[in-house]
């Protein structure tokens, strides 16, 4: 009989472990169960725990992604949708057929270099001309992979070294900070007025005034718009973050919406889009036709939302959490890049400032 195992009767195998003056014992029906318990228990006590890595070695990245995508393993919060999308991406890569035990940080660095075309990047740049996507997308994909490996390891109680380690992620790019320059809004609206898309000028005004996202505006229907109440608004039942929100309307945005009304009594127009496009790309294409790089250098549709959020900080006394309700940002940290726009107002609270002068 193996050491530490005693036969106590029919189908009774007692396993014992003595370590550091402490004794533990347990009885099992089979010798195999007793041996396995003794091996694991003794290993934990001596920090020499046996770990069977067979399952880790036999599980491919694609299989792990499928496991994570089942049910709610990817989570149920606002970020879960993005994680699932990134896991589906990993299933299409060359690494998908690899054993999870075979994926190392140097493999991910090689993948990153290829995806970002780093070898052909100009001096000081992170991305080459043939890049598949930007650094931020690569960071999101790696974060999803890291979450997958941590979740799988914890669920199966099999330790693994997370290859998404320091140095694997590319440098985080600076957020765009393109604002409308002096006179540029008027010039942009004049150009939009000449577009074959009669709705484009109003769409630009709505975007700046309400800070609405491209897809949110494209999917907005008239039955979600209320212009006949004391405080006009429109409802966005489904947003980028899967959280509905109600957007209050300024005088300019109300006028822009009224200019788009096809008939009176818009409430009955259930399901009819405010902007006649199928997706947000339709808005972006129309905008690009008039906002050429020659006339409006490096101006994109999303910059209008950035302009609108900036104006909320500059021109209103709304608190950060109130601005979040309008813009749909999830956390105050997402608005940190705008807080400097109010720094000059702090002077009024300093000694000798306007509010403290006697």
Query: pLDDT tens, 5-22?
Result: 877 778 888 888 776 666
CA distances from 344 to 10, 312, 348 (A): 84, 15, 8
User: Which segment of 39-43, 195-199, 231-235, 353-357 scores lowest on mean pLDDT?
Assistant: 353-357
| pLDDT, mean of residues 36-49 | 65
CA angle 192, 289, 309 (to 5 degrees): 60
Distance CA 147, CA 164 (A): 10
| pLDDT, mean of residues 246-268 | 83
User: Which segment of 207-216, 226-235, 327-336 scores lowest on mean pLDDT?
Assistant: 327-336
Residue with tokens 């008039």: 290
The domains of the chain, with CATH numbers, are 5-50 (no CATH), 57-156 (no CATH), 184-349 (1.10.443.10)
pLDDT for position 358: 47
Residue 34 has a CB neighbour count (10 Å cut-off) of 24
Distance CA 82, CA 137 (A): 11
44 pLDDT above the threshold of 70 = no
| pLDDT, mean of residues 265-274 | 68
307 pLDDT above the threshold of 70 = yes
CA distances from 5 to 1, 36, 37, 38, 203 (A): 7, 11, 11, 8, 78
Query: Please, which pLDDT band fits residue 68 given cuts at 50, 70 and 90?
Result: very high
338 pLDDT above the threshold of 90 = no
Dmax over Cα atoms in the chain, in whole Å? 96
Query: Please, which pLDDT band fits residue 52 given cuts at 50, 70 and 90?
Result: low
pLDDT for position 73: 82
pLDDT for position 192: 97
| Burial bucket for residue 335 (CB in 10 Å: 0-12, 13-18, 19+) | middle
Query: pLDDT tens, 225-247?
Result: 999 999 999 999 878 777 899 99
Most confident of 39-53, 85-99, 106-120: 85-99
Query: pLDDT tens, 140-191?
Result: 999 999 999 999 999 998 888 899 999 999 987 766 789 999 999 999 999 9
71 pLDDT above the threshold of 90 = no
pTM: 0.61
4 pLDDT above the threshold of 50 = yes
317 pLDDT above the threshold of 70 = yes
Which two three-digit tokens encode residue 143? 């974060």
Look over the chain and give the mean of its residue pLDDT values, rounded to a whole number. Answer: 86
Contact 175, 135 (CB under 8 A): no
């Amino acid at each position: 009989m193996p050491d530490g195992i005693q036969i106590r009767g029919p189908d009774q195998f007692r396993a014992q472990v003595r370590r550091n003056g402490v004794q533990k014992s347990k009885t099992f029906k089979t010798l195999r169960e007793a041996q396995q318990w003794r091996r694991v228990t003794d290993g934990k006590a001596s920090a020499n725990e046996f770990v069977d890595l067979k399952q880790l070695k036999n599980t491919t990245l694609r299989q792990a992604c499928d496991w994570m995508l089942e049910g709610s393993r990817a989570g149920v919060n606002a970020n879960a949708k993005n994680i699932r999308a990134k896991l589906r991406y990993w299933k299409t890569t060359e690494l998908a057929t690899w054993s999870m035990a075979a994926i190392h940080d140097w493999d991910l660095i090689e993948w990153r270099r290829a995806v970002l075309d780093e070898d052909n990047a100009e001096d000081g740049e992170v991305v080459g001309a043939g890049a598949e996507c930007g650094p931020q997308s690569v960071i999101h994909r790696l974060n999803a992979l890291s979450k997958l490996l941590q979740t799988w390891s914890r669920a199966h109680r099999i330790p693994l070294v997370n290859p998404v380690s320091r140095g694997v992620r590319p440098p985080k790019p600076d957020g765009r900070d393109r604002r409308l320059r002096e006179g540029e809004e008027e010039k942009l609206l004049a150009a939009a007025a000449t577009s074959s898309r009669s709705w484009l000028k109003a769409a630009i005004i709505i975007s700046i005034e309400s800070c609405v996202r491209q897809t949110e505006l494209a999917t907005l229907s008239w039955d979600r718009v209320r212009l006949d109440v004391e405080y006009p608004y429109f409802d966005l039942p489904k947003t980028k973050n899967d959280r509905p929100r109600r957007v209050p309307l300024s005088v300019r945005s109300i006028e822009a919406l009224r200019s788009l009304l096809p008939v009176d009594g818009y409430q009955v127009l259930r399901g009819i889009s405010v902007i006649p496009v199928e997706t947000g790309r339709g808005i972006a294409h129309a905008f690009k036709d008039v906002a050429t790089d020659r006339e409006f250098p490096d101006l994109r549709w999303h910059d209008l939302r950035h302009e609108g959020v900036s104006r909320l900080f500059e021109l209103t006394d709304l608190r950060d959490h109130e601005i979040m309700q309008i813009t749909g940002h999830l956390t105050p940290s997402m608005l940190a890049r705008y807080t400097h726009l109010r720094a000059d107002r702090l002077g009024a609270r300093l000694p000798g400032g306007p509010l403290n002068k006697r």
